[in-house]
Structure 1
Amino acid sequence: MSQHPLTSASSVLHVDDDPALLELTAEFLTRAQSDLDVHSVTDVEQALSVLDTEPVGCIVSDYDMPGSTGLEFLNTVRETYPNLPFILYTGKGSEEIASEAINAGVTGYLQKGGAEQHRRLVNRVDHAVREYRAQIESQRYSTVLEALGYPVYVVDADGQFSYVNDAFVDLVGYEQSELVGAEPDLIKTDESVAEINESLRTVVSSSGPDIEHVEVEIRRNDGTVITCKDHIAALPFDDEFRGCAGILRDLSDQRARKRALQRKNERLEELVSVISHDLRTPLSAARGAADLAAETGDAEHFDALTRAHERLESMLDELLTLARTDERTTTTEAVTLPTAARAAWETVNPDRATLVVDTDRTVMADPDRLQRLFQNLFANAVAHGGSRATVTVGAAESDAHGFYVADDGPGIDPEHRDTVFEPGVSMSTDGTGFGLAIVDRIADAHGWDVALTESADGGARFEFVGTESVDADRTTRSAASD
């Protein structure tokens, strides 16, 4: 069996040898959540086939079925999907079966009954699917942090490490098992612990900043002491403090790496700010929609919940891309601008919009990153200029090898042109705020300068200069290969 990601249109697999009950349960589930796909099968063999081919967000299974029991089915599922929600919904209930089910790790145990039991099942499935989705999104969020490559830690409300990543373990020299459950004074000096606590009090105060930056002394396991910058923020909370998260930066080689450290600090602040601010909005929207959906059962609230999750998923995808495009490009090749532009245009699905390629220039670039640069600029132009927008790729007059991307949309006000490349800044209410930031990072990774001006048609014009020259021989070979 293969793993499948949970899609925005969640699905439930229901296994029961009673077709009438399957039909009734499907009716209850889809009435409560209109976009829910319910796969109803009458035996375990069919269920395993569905798992092998379809994304499933929750399993509902009978206990007593021909050829197998629900708990035997659970054990099979757990071999491949250890975290997939599994609810045992059976008419053969007993304390013995309930105890066995709980010990086997079922997500929920319910006895069959009338309409009230079906409503309980609907609520339990809804909760399980949302929890499973949150777990997947949390894993993706962790992937973003790991992609940054910085030592990351989480301290719980009791003042003990609850999470440290591999980079943190490498920095301090302790095993993960030694760190989790220990207090920060295991690796921080008393003075540093006092400074962190003071900064944390500022962060959680109503008038304080969301993030504090503190220089701390870290005592490694081998006895050496290194100076780090600790970027610390409180975990989101309502009434009770839940703890804090921090990212460490090693400053021991600060003089030799001063310029690089300054650049990465700016990137880190932007990303932590996005994590602290921008992701709260879709998370809050999802929580509010989930609460209303649970209370009212209205389809519009489930639709709002789906939209919030889709926006969060899009933001996480863009944030991960942003983290990965931060490093300078070291391998380039001769790429013709028409080839890269037209390949990117196909991915945007522009409907009736028009692409005009008015140059045959060849630049030295990472082909995938250049295509992503075009893709983001094209998507931005179509989003703001409409389905009939015209986008032009041409040669920059100010640079022998530079190029530009221009559109005929509404353009960008001069007062906003200095901020649109910052992560989290969007001129659209449904934008992620990362598209142009990724464009800027890709240009910077190549050593290019990008300037935003007004196009000849009054829209936006992005001009890229400083591109590496391509000699005639390489240009000819590149054109021939295209």
Structure 2
Amino acid sequence: MTDPTDRIRVLHVDDNPEFGELVAVYLEREDDRISVQTAETPDDAVDALDAREIDCVVSDYDMPESNGIEFLETVREEYPGLPFILYTGKGSEEIASDAISAGVTDYLEKESGTSQYAVLANRITNAVEQYRSTRALEASQERLSLFFEQSPLGVVEWTEEFEVARLNEAAEEILGYDEAELRGEPGRKIVSEADREEVSAVVDELLEREGGYHSINENVRKDGERIICEWHNRVVTDDGEVVAIFSQFQDITERRTQLKELERQRAVIESASNTIVTIDDSSVVQSVNPAVEETFGYSPEELIGEPLTTLMGDDVADRHREAFERYLRTGERTLDWEYTEFEARHRDGSPVPVGVTFGEVVYEEEHWFVGILRDISEQRARKQELEWTNGVLSTLLETLPVGVLAESENREVLAANDRIFELFDLPGTPEETVGADCERIAESVSDQFVDPDGFVARINEIVDTDERVEGEELALADERTFVRTHEPIELPDGDGHLWTYRDITEQRVYEERLAALNELAGELIVADSRQEIAEIGVDAARDVLGLDANAIHLYDADRSALVPAAGTEKVFDLVGEPPTFTEGGSIGWRVFESGEALAVDDTHDDPDIYNPESPIRSELLLPIEGYGILMAGSPTPDTFDQEDLVLGQILAGSLVSAFEQIEQMEQRQARERELETQNERLEEFASIVSHDLRNPLNVAEGRVELAKESGELDHLDAVERAHERMNALIDDLLTLARQGEYVSEIAPVRLDAIAGDCWENVATADATLDVRSDRAVLADRSRLQQLFENLMRNAVEHAGDDVTVSVGELADGFYVADDGSGIPADVREDVFDAGYSTSECGTGFGLRIVKQIATAHDWEIAVEEGDDGGARFEITGVSFADE
């Protein structure tokens, strides 16, 4: 017999009682520990939960007056940890996501065949065992708290994300924090930044249970004090599952401080990039750091115990030894201990330029000397390079297109070129200026600038701070603009300054016009019609290129104007009728055909453009590939230059891109609308097939298998009902899928004739037809017949066998009404949804097909209350044949 403690009590909720009974039979067969109680509604299920202990809930998604997600939320309010499995035929990513958000334990889609019940049974047992294990773990954790409180050391409990869960009193005293202040904080909060990487490695090992159980690191108290703590860490497990993570620790700051300081000093010396050597009063090497090998080729072991002459050579070493001895005898420093340069000797015998600084230390009452030796090879190479640079500077000065001035550290002119004399209109020649006072020169030209005093003050500031300056703009009183740069330079006899000045007045004008053109591009991007794009292009030709407002026009390739001329006058008032672009003859046509922009200084050469009475003397013609030509005129000859052509070509290219974007956007929007409609229909069909066909199919399969096993033929009655249900669904689905929202041949169809034919095709019992119009509507006869038959069948199914169905005429359509109980106002919009039905024998797709047929004809359909109180379906937007 099954142990009572192992029994699994399952509550199965499904609005189809036959399917619910079938699931119960198969689950109890799969696992004898499982016992199933069924419920058809969420309310019944809640009562069952209150009446007895349940180990797991299994629920369908689609149910009357509610769904599985809403039921799950109700269960979670009273039973937050109870296993809950959503078992549904209406599967989708959206439903799965909502279920997970609501706290579902598991999610399983209904499938065909009986093997699915084995999967469901397995999911149930796994969920229940997990739930029971969790509750047992909670009891185990209570026992661990005794260890936590009684430990004489500081104890921290961590989460699996290594955040503080709690502290004991000893830990609070060591760290200076209350437990509430650290709870939820990451471990790095109490670790100094220098030790965080090391502690992170210990944490990784600890979480992987591969080590990390002992560590010593620097921690930070609440008051900012840094302390050294020794940590013992442990992962507590139960049957392989992590129950808790604990750390015991103690403050060992005092006994670690001295050792830490010694280690720090040793690390500084060992990691220094310069050679650090210690010698005694006999100039014998006592210690040396690893950097000596990179500079001199010796390992530290090779030099310790050797005389200083090994590195310095005899002459230099003897010089230092004598100086050290004299200092020890008399206290007199005859050697420049601050800094000395000499040629040292590499292990391979090659010379090494070195700079050395010495200092004295007293070690165990002995006088030792510490030297810091720095390789100055690169420094000397840089000096040589600067000397070479200074040598070629004079040659470069005269070839540069900018004004150049080089000055020494004491502000004397070293060199200048002719261009700087031209920019500032200086007297004399560059050669005559060498040696002059640069500060006085700056003052003499300062009145050429908008802010004379600021010009001089800024130069002095740059020199004082030795600031590097790049692209500093200066405004001149005559509306010119200069750009200044300053570069500090190293000279053989000190530092210096290199200045350059460049006139960017014309460049600024061009950049401003380009900026305006960029702004235009932004306007073109958001334009939504060819007309708006053309208008923007005309305005840009006037504003960006600075053209006459009355002489701009954009023409299409078909020789018709796209946009009227800008300004108060029409362009053809100035130049005659719009250009004809005479093929092969006119200048305008040749520009359009060649695709190259052209500036014409005298329009007399082109009969299509020339008008003797026009004040326009020059033309700028810009081809817009595939769209036409932009023509701009000016009353001043020689107005258009190369910059105008470049800007005009950019403008023309922007217009083309904008036109193409409009066309592409319109095509894309059409494709997106078509795809959206297709996706909506596919989603609707998938939902119908997955849910509405799944339940009767499962019932049929299950009952057939039970009939085979038991030999009881009563099961086949349920199979027959399931098949009838599926046949009705499939017929309606085929109608929806094959015909869709399309119609074929439209022709006049009389309402009285089509209504009478359809009445004969519907099982109407004792129902009565009342046709009140003989007008002909324009429609697809076959689709219209489907519409009438479905509405008549709907009336008979819902209003009764003795219903009266009436067909009548509206101002812009017709109606089909009955004298039944009607349709409540709050559900009238829902009746056209696929699968919606209040009848047990209905498929829920008849009115959906009616809606689809109306849409295919571009008609509107609505449900209203009839004159006799029943349902009245009004179809409007209909065209009559006699109109």
Q: Normalized against structure 1, the TM-score is what?
A: 0.46
Which is higher, the Rg of structure 1 or of structure 2?
2
Q: Normalized against structure 2, the TM-score is what?
A: 0.26
Of structures 1 and 2, the one with the larger relative CO (CA 8 A, separation 6+) is 1
